Amino acid sequence: MSWKSAYKAAFFLWIALIGVLSVVPAPNSAVTVSDKLAHFVSYFVTALLCYCAFRKEKFSFIIASGIAVFLYGIAIEFVQYFLPYRDFSLGDIAANASGIGSFILIWVVYSRVLRHGS
Query: DSSP states of the chain as a string?
Result: --HHHHHHHHHHHHHHHHHHHHHSPPS--S--HHHHHHHHHHHHHHHHHHHHHS----HHHHHHHHHHHHHHHHHHHHHHHT-TT----HHHHHHHHHHHHHHHHHHHIIIIIITT--
pLDDT in tens, 20-33: 999 998 776 555 66
**Across all residues in the chain, what is the average pLDDT?**
90
Predicted TM-score (pTM) of the model is: 0.88
* Confidence at 50, pLDDT banded by 50, 70, 90: very high
Mean of the pLDDT values across residues 4-32? 87
